[in-house]
């Protein structure tokens, strides 16, 4: 199975708008108690989340996993910091790019692969406002071309 495939549960659409994503990595997560049940139910939000590397380990902050409905006292803190599972070589590559080149590590989407929750993270460089406007113009032009083509074929 290719990287980033599986049942997509959450997607960070704002990431592609705000960053040029140059490389992606697939990471596992260390979860507690009923978190996987909430993830399977699709109660995950990646909107404001970000990845940090501390003491040679990758951590995701601000990822919201809603408490499981039937979890009662076994539920978890929805915004707790969670450890990401990556190879040491991948962590070193991410750390080097972030420190040297001014890149940011951005969570892109969460999905289930072979029964495990995976997070696709990307190495992104921030877009300027004029880059965002240029992307919007390209998308609008593409939509317009598709509209004209569709109208021509009918």
For the stretch 47-70, pLDDT in tens is 888 899 999 899 999 988 888 877
pLDDT band of residue 132 (cuts 50, 70, 90) is confident
Q: Are 65 and 76 in contact (CB under 8 A)?
A: yes
Percent of the chain with pLDDT over 70: 94
Please give the pLDDT value at position 2: 59
The CA-atom distances, in angstroms, between 96 and each of 79, 90, 101 are 27, 10, 8
* CATH number of this structure's domain 7-127: 2.40.280.10
Domain ranges of the chain: 7-127
pTM score, whole prediction: 0.77
Please give the pLDDT value at position 3: 65
Please give the pLDDT value at position 142: 87
Query: Nearest-CA neighbor of 12 among 108, 112, 140?
Result: 108
């Amino acid at each position: 199975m290719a990287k980033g495939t599986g049942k997509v549960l959450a997607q960070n659409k704002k990431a592609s708008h705000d960053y040029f994503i140059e490389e992606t990595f697939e990471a596992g997560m260390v979860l507690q108690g009923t978190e996987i049940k909430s993830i399977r139910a699709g109660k995950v939000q990646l909107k404001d989340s970000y990845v940090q590397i501390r003491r040679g380990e990758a951590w995701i902050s601000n990822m919201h996993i809603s408490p499981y409905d039937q979890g009662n006292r076994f539920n978890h803190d929805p915004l707790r910091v969670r450890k990401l599972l990556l190879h040491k070589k991948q962590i070193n590559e991410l750390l080097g790019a972030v420190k040297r080149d001014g890149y940011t590590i951005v969570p892109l989407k969460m999905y289930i692969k072979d029964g495990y929750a995976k997070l696709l993270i990307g190495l992104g460089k921030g877009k300027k406002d004029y880059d965002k406007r240029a992307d919007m113009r390209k998308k609008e032009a593409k939509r317009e071309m598709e509209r004209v083509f569709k109208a021509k074929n009918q």
